[in-house]
Amino acid sequence: MKRSIIIILFLVFCMGSTYAGNPDRQGEAGAYELLLNPWARSAGLHTMSTSMISGVESMRLNVAGLARINKTEVLIGHTRYLVGTGVNMNAIGLGQRVGTNGVFGLSLMAMDFGDIAVTTTDQPEGTGSTFSPSFFNLGLSYAHIFENKVSVGLTIRAVSESTSDLSAQGVALDAGVQYVTGENDNFKFGISLRNVGTPMKFGGEGLSFRATNPDGTINYDLSYDHRAAVFELPSVLNIGASYDINVNVKNRITVVGNFTSNSFSRDAIGGGLEYSFNDVFMLRGGYKYDLGSSSDAVDNNVYTGVSAGVSMEVPFTEDGSTRFGVDYAYRATNPWNGTHNLTIRFTL
Q: Tell me, what's the pLDDT at 320?
A: 77
Q: Tell me, what's the pLDDT at 16?
A: 46
Q: Name 222's Cβ contacts closer than 8 Å, sequence gap at least 6.
A: 210, 211, 212, 213, 214
Q: Answer yes or no: is pLDDT of 7 > 70.
A: no
Residue 186 Cα to chain centre, angstroms: 25
Percentage of the chain beyond pLDDT 70 is: 91
Task: Encode pLDDT of 101-137 as tens digits.
Answer: 999 999 999 999 999 999 988 898 889 899 899 999 9
Task: Encode pLDDT of 195-250 as tens digits.
Answer: 999 999 999 888 888 888 777 677 778 788 888 889 999 999 999 999 999 999 99
Asked whether 51 and 176 are in contact (CB, 8 A), the reply is no
Q: Tell me, what's the pLDDT at 298?
A: 58
In residues, how long is the chain?
348
E strand intervals along 99-205:
102-112, 116-117, 130-131, 134-146, 150-162, 167-181, 187-197, 200-201
Lowest mean pLDDT among 161-170, 186-195, 206-215: 206-215
Return d(Cα 173, Cα 153) in angstroms, integer.
Answer: 11
pTM: 0.89
Task: Encode pLDDT of 272-313 as tens digits.
Answer: 999 999 999 999 999 999 987 766 655 678 898 999 999 999
Q: Residue 232's closest CA among 188, 200, 187?
A: 200
Backbone angles phi, psi at 30, to 5 degrees: -125, -170
Cα R_g (the chain), whole angstroms: 22
Mean pLDDT, to the nearest integer, of 181-201? Answer: 93
Give me the residue spans of the domains in the chain. 2-347
Task: Encode pLDDT of 14-65 as tens digits.
Answer: 544 444 445 566 678 899 999 999 999 999 999 999 999 999 999 999 999 9
Q: Tell me, what's the pLDDT at 12?
A: 46
Straight-line distance from the first to the last Cα atom of the chain, in angstroms, rounded to the nearest whole number: 34
Q: Tell me, what's the pLDDT at 162?
A: 95
Q: Tell me, what's the pLDDT at 8?
A: 44
Q: Domain 2-347 is of which CATH architecture?
A: Beta Barrel (2.40)
Task: Encode pLDDT of 67-102 as tens digits.
Answer: 999 899 999 999 999 999 999 999 999 999 999 899
Task: Encode pLDDT of 44-56 as tens digits.
Answer: 999 999 999 999 9
Return d(Cα 265, Cα 198) in angstroms, integer.
Answer: 19
Neighbour tally for 236: CB within 10 Å:
25
Q: Residue 289's closest CA among 305, 302, 278?
A: 305
Q: Tell me, what's the pLDDT at 21?
A: 41
Residue 172 Cα to chain centre, angstroms: 12
Q: Answer yes or no: is pLDDT of 184 > 90.
A: no
